[in-house]
A and B are shown apart, each in its own frame.
Chain A
Amino acid sequence: MDRSEERFVDPENAAAAAVVADVRQRQRWLGAFARCPEERLEPLLTQMGRDNRYTVLRAPEAGLMMVRARAGGSGQRFNAGEMTVTRCSIRLEDGTVGHGYVAGRDKARAETIARLDALMQGVASAQAEPIVAALETEIEALAEARQSKSAPTKVEFLTMVRGENA
């Protein structure tokens, strides 16, 4: 939300907006942990508090998720096929519960994400923000780099006009 807008909301709505903002930030870090290069997670865990003790609520398990798509991209929904997903849930000693979901079958990663999810909930959103933003920037840069490899294959089809060379 834009800062200038924030000043005009009443306190009750402001509280609701704060909850929404927190949820949005949590959504973002869970997405970033699932999509960032694997080697980013361990240093982050050290930074956030690797020594925090935790109980495993749901041991890492691999399962299936049915991928939904839409006919023509925007029409009727259909089930396109499944993908593997691994999930894990943990609880810190202070009672904070963390969840980890990641595509594929990497159990260690799902557990690390669950731990990070719980630890991130314990810090102020201003403190969490640069961590999330840095990961997002890197994910975006990697995706862009991969896509831009196709840039030299962009074609300009020319319509040949008869007698053009005459």
Chain B
Amino acid sequence: MYVAAKGGEKAIAGAHRLLAEERRGDPAVSEIGTDQISEQLGRAVDRVMTEGALFDRKLAALAIKQAAGDLIEAIFLIRAYRTTLPRFGYSEPLKVSDMRARRRISATFKDVPGGQVLGPTFDYTHRLLDFALEAEGGARDHSVELHSAATGDALHDDPGPMDPMPRVLDQLASEGMIEDSEAPAGDVVSPVGDITREPTEFPADRDVRLQTLARGDEGFLLAMGYSTQRGYGRTHPFAGEIRMGEVTVEFMPEELGFPIEIGEITITECEMVNQFKGTATEKPKFTRGYGLGFGHVERKAISMALVDRSLRCRDLGEEAGAPAQDEEFVLSHSDNVQATGFVEHLKLPHYVDFQSELELVRRMRAEFDAAQEAKEEIAKPEAAE
């Protein structure tokens, strides 16, 4: 039990002043702008947008600055802010096939229509610290190198539009080698679960699971996904396709009665291909896991796809027993704002609570002592005999 404590206002105000000073750091160093965070710490912004479950780069950059780079604190700020805004409605489902992909890779097929496009990636870097970045303005201009090295003579050529990139898993689907990913019948009218409106009930449907995973903590989902690879509920995953790029968002305002485009967002998607044994009535075929996040959040999208697939064990009639297959365990512990709220509340004053515990332990100790003494009293005459 937590009992509220009073007082300490002056100290709290002082602590917050000191926090502001610490956040600012050495005044001799120029202050960081939210535009710099947005432009130069993009992956941090993406994580805050994804786990804050709100696409708005400017707000995420502001939250990161205010939180002095503590990303879970920044996510908390975003979640708190969103509660102050009215909800206008729901978008039309994203047409991810129309994504302007800036990165698109498949680990299952070497030759995919549209090609393998690495895009901006940390993959294949040597993970050596680049001390040129330490010096202000000292970063090498990679843009020129990239063009000359990769395309040789095409240095000054306009690379032109990219080829269309049909979804990789559609190839497998056309052969019937993978389960269908069709919208269920009556999909347009059936309700879609929304965890921001209704508390989660178990067993949860896949819509609720995906929404929960989409905002779930990257570290938690990474660990859960990793556990499935190490054998705790193995799903034999392959990254069928990973995409990152821009999609247009459509919304149908009631007063218009037709959908309109309101802007575009950057998303990362991962489609996992997993094995499935088949049943007495069904041929063996591959199954799917799906991950999606705001911005460039590849690790998160891959982890999410692994966990999504693991949580489908019940739907696929698989034996469940591993932590990543335990829907209630995974969904109840994936949200870092909820988790940090409960874990970190331990540091708040629990004086009254602890006093009662203290008294209880004192009483128990006294009882223990009394019992010991009584035993000794009984033992004494026996010893004398």
**A and B pair up:** yes
Give me the interface of A with B, judged by CB distance under 8 Å.
23, 26-27, 30-31, 34-35, 61-85, 87, 89, 99, 101-105, 143-144, 146-157, 159
- Do B249 and A104 touch (CB < 8 A)? no
Give the docked Cα–Cα distance between A82 and B261 (Å): 16
New A-B contacts (7) at CB < 8 Å, excluding given A67-B55, A84-B55: A65-B90, A73-B167, A77-B192, A105-B56, A105-B58, A152-B150, A153-B117
Q: Show 15 A/B contacts (Cβ-Cβ < 8 Å), sorted by A.
A: A63-B88, A66-B87, A66-B90, A66-B91, A68-B93, A69-B292, A74-B181, A76-B183, A77-B93, A79-B192, A89-B255, A146-B102, A146-B246, A154-B115, A157-B116
Q: Is B248 an interface residue (CB 8 A)?
A: yes
User: 9 nearest interchain CB pairs?
Assistant: A103-B263, A31-B261, A151-B159, A72-B181, A83-B55, A81-B53, A78-B207, A153-B118, A152-B150
**What residues on A are CB-neighbors of B162 within 8 Å?**
147-148, 150-151
Q: Is B147 an interface residue (CB 8 A)?
A: yes
Q: Is B222 an interface residue (CB 8 A)?
A: no
- Do B159 and A79 touch (CB < 8 A)? no
Q: Given known contacts A30-B261, A74-B183, A154-B116, is B210 in contact with A65 (CB within 8 Å)?
A: no
Give the docked Cα–Cα distance between A64 and B263 (Å): 13
Against A, the Cβ 8 Å flags (1 = close, 0 = not) of B171-215 are: 000000000111110010000111110000000001110110011
Q: Given known contacts A146-B246, A153-B119, A154-B115, is B50 in contact with A65 (CB within 8 Å)?
A: no
Q: Is B24 an interface residue (CB 8 A)?
A: no
Give the docked Cα–Cα distance between A73 and B82 (Å): 26
**Measured between C-beta atoms, what is the minimum distance from B290 to chain A in Å?**
5
Give the docked Cα–Cα distance between A99 and B259 (Å): 13
**Measured between C-beta atoms, what is the minimum distance from A101 to chain B in Å?**
5
- Do A69 and B100 touch (CB < 8 A)? no
- Tally of chain B residues near chain A (CB < 8 A): 87
**What residues on A are CB-neighbors of B53 within 8 Å?**
81-82
Give the docked Cα–Cα distance between A44 and B290 (Å): 43
**Measured between C-beta atoms, what is the minimum distance from B124 to chain A in Å?**
10
Q: Given known contacts A70-B94, A76-B183, A99-B256, is B248 in contact with A35 (CB within 8 Å)?
A: yes
* Total A-B residue contacts, Cβ distance less than 8 Å: 242
Determine the residue in chain B with the shortest Cβ distance to A87. B88
**What residues on A are CB-neighbors of B55 within 8 Å?**
67, 81-84
Q: Is B245 an interface residue (CB 8 A)?
A: yes
**What residues on B are CB-neighbors of A70 within 8 Å?**
93-94, 96, 181, 183
Determine the residue in chain A with the shortest Cβ distance to B81. A84
**What residues on A are CB-neighbors of B56 within 8 Å?**
83-84, 104-105
Give the docked Cα–Cα distance between A157 and B118 (Å): 11
- Do B100 and A72 touch (CB < 8 A)? no
**What residues on B are CB-neighbors of A144 within 8 Å?**
100, 161
Q: Is B146 an interface residue (CB 8 A)?
A: yes
- Do B260 and A31 touch (CB < 8 A)? yes
**What residues on B are CB-neighbors of A26 within 8 Å?**
258
- Do A99 and B91 touch (CB < 8 A)? no
Q: Is B101 an interface residue (CB 8 A)?
A: yes
Give the docked Cα–Cα distance between A34 and B290 (Å): 30
**What residues on A are CB-neighbors of B121 within 8 Å?**
153
- Do A101 and B50 touch (CB < 8 A)? no
**What residues on A are CB-neighbors of B187 within 8 Å?**
76-77
The segment out of B264-272, B330-338, B339-347, B374-382 that lies at the interface is: B264-272
Give the docked Cα–Cα distance between A105 and B81 (Å): 13
- Do A65 and B261 touch (CB < 8 A)? no
